[in-house]
Amino acid sequence: MKTQHISTTPFTDQRPGTSGLRKPVQHFRQPNYSENFLQAVFDTLGIHGKTIVIGGDGRFFNSTVIKAAIRMAVAQGAHKLIVAQNGLLSTPAASHLIRTHQADYGIILSASHNPGGEDGDFGIKVNLQSGEPAPESITEAIYQTACKTTGYTICDSEIADIADCGQYTLGMTEVSIVSSTDDYLKLMQQCFDFPAIKAWLAQHDMAFDALHAVTGPYATAIFCDALGISRDHILSAEPQTDFGGHHPDPAPDRVSDLRQLMKSNDQIVLGAASDGDGDRNLICGQKYIINPCDSLAIIAANHQHIPCLQKLTGVARSMPTSRAIDKVAEHLGVSCYETPTGWKFFASLLDAGLIQLCGEESFGTGGAHIREKDGIWAILCWLNILAATDSTPDQLLEAHWAQYGRHHFNRYDYTALDRDAAQAMLAKLEKDLPKYIGQTHHGLTITTAGQFNYTDPVNGEKSPGQGLQIKFGQQARIILRLSGTDTRGVTLRIYCEYWQQDAHKTPALFGTTATLASFAQGLLNLSHFCDRTQPDHII
């Protein structure tokens, strides 16, 4: 096997964000851009003698980078490469493969819910030994290394097709092409009561929208082949490199096909969808699209019906996620942790056995079975609860609100802002916040206001500056932060939450999240700093 060394000029813009390095495809297509980042990963985590998992969400450029990663890893003496068939591997399935094969780490090629195709986005994520997204200390080290990387070694061998499962040896490396779905299906069968779900689905129906992203093959294997639903009820099941030209994002305004199908067939009591890489989930009933914060709280409240959540001692949510789950945790007498945005912050809590269930407002839910959020797992949690209680999602949601009150929650996104202007605007507000404490607006008093600085309770790692919080006691909350997954400009996210004990009562003047958002816009002086008066996306 011949290898060659390619000299490169370092790239200084390869700092990963909330979830890996994410850039427009055209940016990644610059000569040596991906190879430079992969080399920085290999230099930081080691490659000689290592076992690594490689796969991605099937978007445009996926197979090009997979083949480059294999040729580089082989040239640099990797022990074993576990590569998903056709390169298709959901993020949760990747986390599971790393754990079952005791791999040293995994490389997941995905920009998640961002659009794909030649004009879309691409991304590279790195997950460590327990299957968890690399923490900031590691991503920072990779970035620092990338800034100094001046070349990489790659082998000349053409990489054969990765369409068939099997094993071969290249140089001193064993290359193993494995099924994308088999191990993951087995894991789901261990987590849930498949016979009970199957029996319930024989009487009721569900539908799933894969949005032409990675979950199509998983949904077909699990919901159709193992649980018996009709293939007609898996929409957009074929993975496509451009996700059919749409956002592979399970936001309420992006699942119109699913809503249409449910409208035409009232036997479908549960609708669900996932994102580009399969780690997010959306749940809906005939009547309601269930807010992810409520979904998390409802799973916690009904955990006793789910085999893998029987022993619940703790839960966690990201800071902007509504406090619906806090009320459930209090009722159950279990701990409730609050972490910064991004799944990596849950990993240490899961590893230490402090929590068994966690989630984010951005349609992310997961447990201790792996170290990533997991769309299909969350849907199976719902199915298991529905089967055990013989109810519908709409009934569960209304019963939940009746018992715990309702946390109205919305996130207001202002996209493509100028980064410097947005940062200056937030810095000014942070300075001003203390003077607002004690002020009353529309009958609500600001009780606390300031920056969220996090210290991991297990390993002591500090992550300051994770978002501004304005709290009106238990009644309401506004959170402001900048996104870490943007590829063009920066997005300001304003998260608004308002709790109402009596879910049927008409909210008070300040009880709509839109009123909270416009109050926040005023505090920020958004129109002055960023020339915006309206959000461009609300979830």
With CB atoms as reference, the residue minimizing the distance to ligand VG1 is 112
**219 with 234: CB under 8 angstroms?**
yes
| The one segment of 200-208, 250-258, 360-368, 396-404 that binds ligand VG1 by CB under 6 A | 360-368
Partner that binds at residue 343, options ligand VG1, Co ion, none, CB closer than 5 to 8 Å by kind = ligand VG1
Which token pair is 349?
Answer: 């809590």
Mark out the alpha helices in 33-122 (DSSP H runs). Answer: 33-45, 62-75, 91-100
DSSP 157: P
Toward ligand VG1, which CB reaches closer, 389 or 415? 415
Token match 């407002």: residue? 361
DSSP 263-312: HH-TTEEEEEE--TTS-B-EEE-SS-EEPHHHHHHHHHHTGGGSGGGSS-
18 near ligand VG1 (CB under 6 A): yes
Quick one: what does residue 365 bind among ligand VG1, Co ion, none, with the CB cut-off 5 to 8 Å set by partner type? Answer: none
Q: Binders of Co ion: how many residues, by CB under 5 A?
A: 4
Residue from 300, 321, 312 nearest 355 by CA: 312
SS3 359: strand
Tokens 């197979």 correspond to 63
Answer yes or no whether residue 58 interacts with ligand VG1 by CB under 6 A: no
Q: How many residues does this entry show for the chain?
A: 539
The entry of ligand VG1, Co ion, none near residue 485 (CB within 5 to 8 angstroms by kind) is ligand VG1
Site residues for ligand VG1, 474-493, by CB under 6 A, read: 483-485, 493
- Among the listed residues 112, 180, 318, 483, the single catalytic one is 112
Does 76 help bind Co ion (rule: CB under 5 A)? no
Whole-angstrom distance, CA of residue 497 vs CA of residue 482: 18
Indicate whether 280 belongs to the interface with ligand VG1 (CB under 6 A).
yes
345 binds ligand VG1 (CB under 6 A): no
| Known catalytic residue at 322 | no
Reported as half-sphere exposure (CB side, CA atoms, 13 A), residue 177 has a value of 19
Question: Mapping DSSP to helix (H, G, I), strand (E, B) and coil, where does residue 530 land?
Answer: helix
- Is residue 77 a contact residue for ligand VG1 (CB under 6 A)? no
Binding mask 104-123 for Co ion (x = CB under 5 A): --------x-----------
Give whichever of 87 and 364 is closer to ligand VG1, judged by the CB atom: 364
Question: To the nearest whole angstrom, how small is the minimum distance from the Cβ of residue 171 to ligand VG1?
Answer: 33
Place of tokens 């447990």: 367
Counting residues that bind ligand VG1 (by CB under 6 A) gives: 18
- Tell me the CA distances in angstroms from 331 to 129, 286, 301, 355, 503, one per residue in order: 35, 29, 9, 16, 18
Instruction: Judge contact between 317 and 336, C-beta under 8 A.
Output: yes
Q: Toward Co ion, which CB reaches closer, 56 or 535?
A: 56
DSSP state of 531: -
Contacted entry of Co ion, ligand VG1, none for residue 19, CB cut-off 5 to 8 Å set by kind: ligand VG1
Among 113, 371, 406, 477, binds ligand VG1 (CB under 6 A): 113
* CB within 8 Å of 140: residues ≥ 6 apart: 15
Annotate each residue in 268-307 with x if it binds Co ion (CB under 5 A) or - if it does not, as one string. -------x-x-x----------------------------
Applying CB under 5 A, the residues found at the interface with Co ion are 112, 275, 277, 279
Applying CB under 6 A, the residues found at the interface with ligand VG1 are 18-19, 112-113, 275, 279-280, 318, 341-343, 360, 362, 364, 483-485, 493
- Indicate which residues carry an active-site annotation: 112
